[in-house]
Amino acid sequence: MDTAGEISRFLDNYWFRSEVFRVFQFSSALLGGVAEVCGSASCSKKFLTVSYCLSGTRVTLRLLDDLPAVLNTLQSLQVRLWTRRELREEL
């Protein structure tokens, strides 16, 4: 299998996608710190900006993953309420 296909298959899985973003986020933060120590302020700022953006991406992905769970819970609650109403009407 080609490399692009393998990467695509891994990124399709939530856990792998989260880990890839996490590795890149922390790696860019590390490189930003190293660049700052070495005296390259502009390079450091770029790496730290990438780290910050990846952090926001990870938060957004986690929030979007919670949305289906919330919708499923709401749908389940609606079904339960509907069933209870039917039972009360029969009595």
**53 part of a folded domain:** yes
Quote the number of domains for the chain.
Answer: 1
SS3 2: coil
pTM value surpassing 0.75: no
Does residue 82 fall inside a structural domain? Answer: no
Q: What residues contact residue 28 under an 8 Å CB cut-off, 6+ apart? A: 47, 48, 50, 51, 54
pLDDT of residue 89: 67
Asked if residue 21 is part of any domain, the answer here is: yes
Token pair, residue 12, equals 């399709």
In a domain, 71, yes or no: no
* 76 occurs within a structural domain: no
Residue 33 confidence (pLDDT): 93
Please indicate, yes or no, if residue 86 is contained in any of the structural domains: no
- Residue 74, domain member (yes or no): no
Q: Is 1 a residue whose pLDDT tops 60?
A: no
For residues 77-86, average pLDDT = 68
Give the ranges where the chain is alpha helix by DSSP (H). 3-11, 14-38, 41-90
Q: Which helix (H) or strand (E) holds 39?
A: none
